[in-house]
Amino acid sequence: MNIETRVKQTLSKMKLNKKERILIAMSGGKDSSVVAYLLKKQGYRIEGFHIDLGMGTYSKRCLEAVKELCKQLDIKLNLYNIKIEMGSSMCYIRTTIQTQEHGKGLKNCAICGVIKKWIMNKEARNLKVDKIATGHNLDDEAQTFLMNLFKGSLQLSANSGAITKNVKDKKFITRIKPLFYIPEDEIRKYSKTKKLPVVYEKCPCALDSYRIQVREFMNTLTTKEKENIMKNFEDISEKIQKLKPENKLNYCELCGEPSRNKICKMCQLVKKG
Ligand code: SF4
Ligand SMILES: [Zn+2]
């Protein structure tokens, strides 16, 4: 079955309404570009959202690619410039956190990921969209599941899935992953066949050595084996839900964003020290 049919199936299982507004988190890379291309092709109401992380020429190339694709697809692009909105580039924010006591040993992507998710939810809510779509693919999901398994923290996978589970709150925008079942290789080939404007080089700050090790291991697996990892995950998904402590969604005491703790992860990172 080709990628278009499989994405169509994944989306139809989510029972999305074609009138819903979906904000695509576009990084300029192949995955989120393919999500934008396919959702537009399949008749969804989409808009682009790009965070300019201010990471030198790499960020400039990403921004240009996103602008070009939005132009080709004739969709609105919402831009968030981190230097303007938060006062500094992601590199600066991240290094500041890593040099403080609470940030020692935290990986670049772990910090960047928390900050981007916080921005995305807040901005999506301001834009009054119904869903956020991200470019996570089968390889990403299998990697995260294995990393949680190896670390003995399987409960961290509890809300994982093509659509966010068990999070119902007026301030939380549901996230969907249309490429949840599609291997990375196939997405790369598809983006090249369609000649999408995409930045293929790796982010210069992606230095999470543990994820790289797991990725290298994953690269030795066949697509079938990767699919089996996620099939097993889905089979035990209900049991994983039970591993998760019952802590309902609150609002962060500092920023007011949805959080499972009194202070959200973003405020724990950025506002300390
Ligand atoms: S690869 Fe890591 S550091 Fe680079 S943009 Fe993604 S999360 Fe941020
Ligand atoms: Zn907060």
In the chain, what is the straight-line distance between the N-terminal and C-terminal CA atoms, in Å? 52
86: Cβ below 6 Å to ligand 1?
no
Q: What pLDDT score was predicted for residue 20?
A: 95
Pocket test for ligand 1, best of 51, 136, 203, 209 (most atoms within 8 A of CB): 203
Task: Return d(Cα 229, Cα 235) in angstroms, integer.
Answer: 10
What is the DSSP annotation of 6-53? HHHHHHHHTT--TTSEEEEE--SSHHHHHHHHHHHHTT-EEEEEEEE-
CA dihedral 116, 120, 122, 126 (to 10 degrees): 150
Cβ-in-10-Å burial (0-12, 13-18, 19+) of 60 comes to middle
Indicate the pLDDT class of residue 161, thresholds 50, 70 and 90.
confident
Q: Ligand 2 centre from 115 Cα, in Å?
A: 10
Q: What pLDDT score was predicted for residue 237?
A: 81
Most confident of 121-130, 161-170, 236-245: 121-130
Nearest to 142 by CA among 171, 191, 177, 110: 177
Q: Which of 26-40, 133-147, 236-250 has the lowest mean pLDDT?
A: 236-250
Q: Identify which has the larger pLDDT, 247 or 165.
A: 165
Residues 45-96 pLDDT 10s: 999 999 999 999 999 999 999 999 999 999 999 999 999 999 999 999 999 9
Q: Which of 11-15, 53-57, 166-170 has the lowest mean pLDDT?
A: 166-170
113: Cβ below 6 Å to ligand 1?
yes
Task: Return d(Cα 239, Cα 235) in angstroms, integer.
Answer: 9
Q: Ligand 2 centre from 217 Cα, in Å?
A: 36
89: Cβ below 6 Å to ligand 1?
no
Give the domain range for residue 158.
3-270
Residues 172-209 pLDDT 10s: 999 999 999 999 999 999 999 999 999 999 898 887 77
Q: Give the residue whose CA is nearest to atom 6 of ligand 1.
A: 109
204: Cβ below 6 Å to ligand 1?
no
Q: Once rounded to an integer, what is the mean pLDDT over residues 145-156?
A: 86
Specify the pTM. Answer: 0.92
206: Cβ below 6 Å to ligand 1?
yes
If one counts the domains in the chain, the total is: 1
* CATH number, domain containing residue 66: 3.40.50.620
259: Cβ below 6 Å to ligand 1?
no
Q: What pLDDT score was predicted for residue 124?
A: 98
